[in-house]
Amino acid sequence: MSESGLVIDDLSVDYDSTRAVSGLSLHVPDGQTLAIVGPSGCGKSTVLRTIAGLTRPAEGRVVVGGRDLTHVPASARDVGLVPQNYALFPHLSVRGNIEYGLKARGVDKVARREAVDRLLAFTELTPLAQRRPSQLSGGQRQRVALARAMAIEPSVLLLDEPLAALDPQLRGAMRRQLLDLLGATTSINVIVTHDRHEALSMADVVAVMRDGRLVQAGSPRELWQAPADAFVADFLCGATYVDVVLDQDAVHAFDGRWAIPYAAVDAARPATGRARGRLLLRPDSLVLSEHRGTGTVPALVRHAEFVGESTLVTLEVAGTAVSVRTDQPVTTGTTVHAGLAGRPVAHPHPEEIAA
Amino acid sequence: MSESGLVIDDLSVDYDSTRAVSGLSLHVPDGQTLAIVGPSGCGKSTVLRTIAGLTRPAEGRVVVGGRDLTHVPASARDVGLVPQNYALFPHLSVRGNIEYGLKARGVDKVARREAVDRLLAFTELTPLAQRRPSQLSGGQRQRVALARAMAIEPSVLLLDEPLAALDPQLRGAMRRQLLDLLGATTSINVIVTHDRHEALSMADVVAVMRDGRLVQAGSPRELWQAPADAFVADFLCGATYVDVVLDQDAVHAFDGRWAIPYAAVDAARPATGRARGRLLLRPDSLVLSEHRGTGTVPALVRHAEFVGESTLVTLEVAGTAVSVRTDQPVTTGTTVHAGLAGRPVAHPHPEEIAA
Amino acid sequence: MSGATARFSSLGAAVPGIALLVAFGVVPLAVLTVTALGLGATGAGEEPGLTLDNLTQAVTSPRLRQELVASVVVGIGSVLIMLVAGIPLTLAMSRHGGQVGHGRLTSVVFTLPIALPGIVVGFFTILMLGRTGIFGQVVPALGGAAYTLPGIFVAYVYFSFPRVIGPLQAAMSTFDHSLVDTARTLGASRARAFVSVTLPVVLPAVVQVLGTAAAVTIGGYGTIATLAQSERLLPLSVADRLSNGYQVASASGLAVVLALLAAGTLAVSRLLSAWLERRLR
Amino acid sequence: MSGATARFSSLGAAVPGIALLVAFGVVPLAVLTVTALGLGATGAGEEPGLTLDNLTQAVTSPRLRQELVASVVVGIGSVLIMLVAGIPLTLAMSRHGGQVGHGRLTSVVFTLPIALPGIVVGFFTILMLGRTGIFGQVVPALGGAAYTLPGIFVAYVYFSFPRVIGPLQAAMSTFDHSLVDTARTLGASRARAFVSVTLPVVLPAVVQVLGTAAAVTIGGYGTIATLAQSERLLPLSVADRLSNGYQVASASGLAVVLALLAAGTLAVSRLLSAWLERRLR
């Protein structure tokens, strides 16, 4: 069977006696970027090490372009790695670092020189070619690590938290630069990150992991529109799922305290009787008002933080905490009335239709 | 002269032969929170150490509640410190850590026990009283460090990057909890941070430092509304100042490429002739459209990043990079037409009125 | 396969080291013990056959017992004195270590003497406190002090200097000075902060340095070889048994006692340090 | 005031240590050198008066020159052998060090022998390779090898074992194994990654360990004191000059040479290490 792209097939990895990754399956088409995202300890770095051949899986396969790499040593995999701290060789110059993989592969001197010159120009490092890694800024180091990994023209390029080592102030600009550089490669890119903005903005496919297992995978917009469960909703969208009951009149949430007319919500009235569903409340799903209105629910303001662009408010509605982003000034401890701002998604679960 | 609150008066601090802080003056009224914010190396931590009495100023004074502390040793200052890594005493239990300052001050056993019990309850650490610091989570450590500093009932409480040591995923919740705890104290709080959201959300007074000097100080809303210069605009608001010329017809930006009608901008027509000014462009100041309209300017999309809530777009207008947050899908490399969304602030400089 | 291979192969590279340890460590110790029990080679005037005398002689003979006690007192005592001087010194170095080349130079000056052989140290002491030593010429009462227990003690203090300062400096370099700063802001005096914070935190490292330096000092032969006239330490007797009449079994017994004493000091300090460390974790 | 006070006071606490170094380090070295020049105390059969003979005898006398060379060869050679075995061993330990108590136990086993006195090490060697040693009984050609240069060499390899492994382990514990992992993904074989990445990165630390261990080994007296019969090393002659006829000036000269040799080895290794380090930074 000839499969194109990167296929991770039912992969499990053990560290000593603990299972770090469990039954992971993923497919990344050629030329696309996969972001694996999850809280620390979810197994995402282990997946990366396994693709690189630095950790041996207990079960499952890693296949790239139809070639089963599971038993191929790291040095023969054609997989480029940009480690989290960049791991630049401190005793070699920028040129020496980028050249390393070509030398190890026995590329002749002329071809090596030509390839390195091209990569130096591509990553805008030409003036720094003779510098030592210690004389570079964080962003420059990142580019050297990237150029070094790209030099071997890998079929898969792995990046472990590529922005974590950078000053937070620079991260935005570096992310854009990295995207440009990655966009110019033809290889499959796999990025591991704990930052949801990085995952959503850099990837074609986002995989959310938790406790060694895949929770959800899909395009950034798919995951953003329909997070699979409360964990993904919270982790990737900063949102909350609220259980609702749909009847012929309205959608009811918070034990009936909140009745939302169908006009305000993107949900179909059940054909008959009542149905259960869940409502995804994003920080910008709600508008706050001092006055009660149709389809509003009274809520207690637990916290209000001015963050410039807006005020982040934590509301308490019937014991549930809900985050809201608003432009209006609100005061902690007061009661406000919250109503739906746009048309948030309600997912009626058909199997749970009640009488 | 009896001054209330914390007064930092023309403070300069040298490290070896370099001036780390230069001519800093600040006033924080009783019960308020000051946030000192700036990029790494701007001298903000040095200010904190100087208030604590751990570094000696070359010039200037530190006065708290009318008492000049400049020559008072750290141990007699009544200043509580929560260091960046929390610096919990590893050989003492949570109770022992909180008790330390009271013991050092010779408070008797009964009063000590009572005060520690109260602080343990206040910081919700009572069940962990016998634990060692190494057995605590990051957030719990932060609370122990806070309770330990609060135990001596300091007149000034200093917090050095209180959230930097925490997992990014937890920072939001920890920030809200910290705000609650600080809100319950009557002391002056000084927070040092490099994160603008932390500064804006936690402080009554924000001081922006750069290269050892104060650039701007004021309430979060003041700074947000009117950043003093391009540095503060970029650092605190992620915004850009654009030079404009105001004439009798419109406000002109980007060398006349963009003519904004007065109806769309919050600026007064100059009484006569032309005036110079600057326009603060925030990420949400612009709306993008595929079509040219009144008051729009053509712009090249250099980058577009989907980050969930919105798409972050970097536009290039006449060689200047401008950040825009938009809900519309845009494609890198295309040209869009940008117009003002709301009423961004233009500051005509009266002294620069031209003929 | 590759992960497991990588692991095995790098452990495989360790095999020569482990083999060397077994060949050079376990075998000779076993042979030494067997000889000490009278079951191995014996000297001309010695009876073969199983006996514990060779091992217990250090405790039963009053002269050897005295040497044993003196060895322990001199070994541990000299290191303790160095610690009292060395802890504040190395702490100050670690706090101000950031200050350019300065700290590096100090570090070299303080650790270079580790290269001075024990025999040279003993020689120093003779030149200073010997019968015609310069101190003896000034203060006659100090003449010949080199050969008394106080003189030997002084020599060993010097011997342990670099063996204490070097490792102590390495241990102190990781000390978190913000602990002391915090204690100061909480109202602790400098002395109180030292006793209640610094000392408990550095104690595991200090105990370990103490143990290692004391073990090396107890086993050192060069210094005492030059200074032994009236006072004696244990290493001397091991050598004497060999050179005077080749008493192999007896010398083996003393060597086992000496090795156990030195290794025991080290092992006890390691255990104590680990226990103290656990109390901090 | 407080900042400056804090700084001065903590440096003040360092004064006893500095004073001790001066009293015990500079003064005796000066006296030793003066004596070696024939200007200080002299022995019964020695002429007073300025002379460089005492200092140059190690180079001019063929017997002493041979001892000097043997000292250097044995000191540096034994440490080099230990390094070859020790580098892969300690690298493997540092990679797998995270694995529970395991690493800790290994560390204790490997460093405990530092406590074994040189004299005991010499004794071991006699029991193994002496005229009636167990190896000699099996392979007659090895009988008495303990007293030949190869035998002494073996003894010193054992002597340097813990003195190399301990510091090497400390140095290797900070090695960034992701460098090797990265080199592997770039296509380097295990051997190539070791030679082209690991070795250049650890070299400064290795050179420093080599220098310190070699300096201690060169100056060590216990081992050679037990093994000296036909072959001699420099420390022996220092002691001999003193015990045979109390030739103070001559012994001083040899002591100065020995001290310079040991301290020089250390200093050269420090400089070389610093130079290599700078090339990495």
All residues of chain B having their beta carbon less than 8 Å from the beta carbon of residue C176 are 85, 87
pLDDT of B267 reads: 77
pLDDT digit string (tens) for C33-77? 777 777 766 665 666 666 777 777 767 788 888 888 888 888 888
For residue D161, name the pLDDT band (cuts at 50, 70, 90).
confident
Q: What angle do CA A178, A184, A185 make, to 5 degrees?
A: 95
pLDDT of A147 reads: 94
Check B39 against A236: CB less than 8 A apart.
no
CA separation, residue D230 to residues D130, D139, D147, D148, D240 (Å): 13, 21, 6, 7, 15
Structure tokens, B137:
């989570």
All residues of chain D having their beta carbon less than 8 Å from the beta carbon of residue B51 are none
Q: How do the domains of chain D map onto residue ranges?
A: 11-280
pLDDT at position B343 over 70? no
Q: Are D265 and D217 a contacting pair, CB within 8 Å?
A: no
- Are A218 and A280 contained in the same domain? no
Give C128 or B54, the one with higher predicted confidence: B54
pLDDT of A249 reads: 87
Q: Tell me if chain B has a CB within 8 Å of the CB of C101.
A: no
All residues of chain C having their beta carbon less than 8 Å from the beta carbon of residue A54 are 2-3, 6
Q: Sheet containing A240-246: which strands, arranged edge to edge?
A: A258-261, A250-253, A240-246, A275-281, A346-348
Structure tokens, B22:
């230069």
Q: What is the helix (H) or strand (E) element at residue D260, kind and residue range?
A: helix D248-280
Check A308 against B235: CB less than 8 A apart.
no
- CB contacts < 8 A, A to D, total 75
For residue D8, name the pLDDT band (cuts at 50, 70, 90).
very low
Check B39 against A197: CB less than 8 A apart.
no
Pick from C116, C215, C266: which is nearest to D259 by CB? C116
Q: Which residue of D has its CA nearest to C236?
A: D119
pLDDT digit string (tens) for B176-199? 888 888 887 778 999 999 888 889
For residue C101, name the pLDDT band (cuts at 50, 70, 90).
very low
Residue B152 included in any domain: yes
pLDDT at position A93 over 60? yes
Q: Tell me if chain B has a CB within 8 Å of the CB of D9.
A: no
- Are A246 and A192 contained in the same domain? no
Hey, of A89, A99, A190, which one would you mutate to test binding to chain D, going by the most D CBs within 10 A of its CB?
A89
- Give the minimum alpha-carbon distance from D280 to chain C in angstroms, rounded to a whole number: 17
DSSP C239: H
- Are B248 and B315 contained in the same domain? yes
- Are B82 and B162 contained in the same domain? yes
pLDDT at position A73 over 90? yes
pLDDT at position A70 over 50? yes
- Are A189 and A92 contained in the same domain? yes
Residue B317 included in any domain: yes
pLDDT of D24 reads: 62
- Are A243 and A178 contained in the same domain? no
Pick from B16, B87, B105: which is nearest to C182 by CB? B87
Check B308 against A237: CB less than 8 A apart.
yes
Among the ranges given (A164-178, B33-47, B301-315), the one the predictor scored with the smallest mean pLDDT: A164-178
- Are A85 and A216 contained in the same domain? yes
Q: Residue B288 sits in which domain range?
A: 239-353
Hey, of B17, B50, B75, B99, which one would you mutate to test binding to chain C, going by the most C CBs within 10 A of its CB?
B75
CATH number of the domain within which A274 lies: 2.40.50.140
ipTM: 0.79
Residue A234 included in any domain: no
CATH superfamily of this structure's domain C11-280? MetI-like (1.10.3720.10)
pLDDT of B146 reads: 93
Give A285 or D97, the one with higher predicted confidence: A285
Q: Are D27 and D35 a contacting pair, CB within 8 Å?
A: no
Enumerate residues 6+ apart whose C-beta is below 8 A from A108: none
Q: Which of residues 110-169 of D touch A (CB under 8 A)?
A: none
Residue A53 included in any domain: yes
- Give the minimum alpha-carbon distance from D194 to chain A in angstroms, rounded to a whole number: 12
B275-281 vs B286-289, strand pairing mode:
unpaired
Give B273 or B120, the one with higher predicted confidence: B120
Q: What is the number of structural domains in chain A?
A: 2
Q: What angle do CA C2, C6, C9 make, to 5 degrees?
A: 130
CATH number of the domain within which A159 lies: 3.40.50.300
Q: Tell me if chain C has a CB within 8 Å of the CB of B76.
A: yes
- Are A118 and A37 contained in the same domain? yes
What is the reported pTM?
0.81
Among the ranges given (B338-347, D139-148, D226-235), the one the predictor scored with the smallest mean pLDDT: B338-347
pLDDT of A159 reads: 95
Residue A148 included in any domain: yes
Amino acid identity for residue C10 in this structure: S
Among the ranges given (A26-40, B294-308, D123-137, D211-225), the one the predictor scored with the smallest mean pLDDT: D123-137
All residues of chain C having their beta carbon less than 8 Å from the beta carbon of residue B91 are 200-201, 279-280
Q: For the residues B283-294, what does the mean pLDDT come to?
A: 87
Dihedrals phi, psi of A70, to nearest 5 degrees: -50, -40
Pick from B53, B83, B132: which is nearest to C281 by CB? B132
pLDDT of D196 reads: 93
pLDDT at position C98 over 60? no
- Are A131 and A14 contained in the same domain? yes
For residue D150, name the pLDDT band (cuts at 50, 70, 90).
confident
DSSP A274: B
B226, B256, B282 - which closes a domain: B226
- Are A110 and A44 contained in the same domain? yes
- Gap between the Cα atoms of C101 and C79, Å rounded: 28
Residue B1 included in any domain: no
pLDDT digit string (tens) for B126-157? 999 999 999 998 889 999 999 999 999 999 99
Q: For the residues C23-41, what does the mean pLDDT come to?
A: 72
- For chain D, give the percent of residues with pLDDT over 70: 77
Give D102 or C236, the one with higher predicted confidence: C236
Q: What is the helix (H) or strand (E) element at residue D180, kind and residue range?
A: helix D178-185
- Gap between the Cα atoms of D175 and D198, Å rounded: 9
pLDDT of A353 reads: 35
**Mean pLDDT over the full length of chain C:** 77
pLDDT of D15 reads: 66
pLDDT of A280 reads: 86
pLDDT of C8 reads: 38
pLDDT digit string (tens) for A300-333? 998 888 888 788 899 998 888 888 988 888 888 8
Residue B166 included in any domain: yes
> Nearest CA to B80 among B155, B181, B171?
B155
- Are B300 and B160 contained in the same domain? no
Q: List chains touching C (3+ CB pairs under 8 A).
A: A, B, D
Q: Which residue of A has its CA nearest to B222?
A: A308
3-state secondary structure chain B: CCCCCEEEEEEEEEECCEEEEEEEEEEECCCCEEEEECCCCCCHHHHHHHHHCCCCCCEEEEEECCEECCCCCHHHCCEEEECCCCCCCCCCCHHHHHHHHHHHCCCCHHHHHHHHHHHHHHCCCHHHCCCCHHHCCHHHHHHHHHHHHHHCCCCEEEEECCCCCCCHHHHHHHHHHHHHHHHCCCCEEEEEECCHHHHHHHCCEEEEEECCEEEEEECHHHHHHCCCCHHHHHHHHCCEEEEEEECCCEEEECCCCEEEEHHHCECCCCCCCEEEEEEEECCCCEEEECCCCCCEEEEEEEEEEECCCCEEEEEEECCEEEEEEECCCCCCCCEEEEEECCCCEEEECHHHCEC
Q: For the residues A44-64, what does the mean pLDDT come to?
A: 94
Hey, of D8, D10, D237, which one would you mutate to test binding to chain C, going by the most C CBs within 10 A of its CB?
D10
Strand, coil or helix: A319: coil
Strand, coil or helix: A64: strand
Q: For the residues B282-299, what does the mean pLDDT come to?
A: 88
pLDDT at position C132 over 70? yes
Q: Which residue of A has its CA nearest to D279?
A: A91
Q: Tell me if chain D has a CB within 8 Å of the CB of A130.
A: no
Residue A196 included in any domain: yes
All residues of chain B having their beta carbon less than 8 Å from the beta carbon of residue A327 are none
pLDDT at position A85 over 60? yes
- Gap between the Cα atoms of A302 and A289, Å rounded: 16
- Are A10 and A52 contained in the same domain? yes
Q: Which of residues 130-189 of B touch A (CB under 8 A)?
A: 167-169, 172, 175-176, 179-180
Pick from A49, A91, A100: which is nearest to D186 by CB? A100
Dihedrals phi, psi of A38, to nearest 5 degrees: 170, 165
Q: Tell me if chain D has a CB within 8 Å of the CB of B58.
A: no
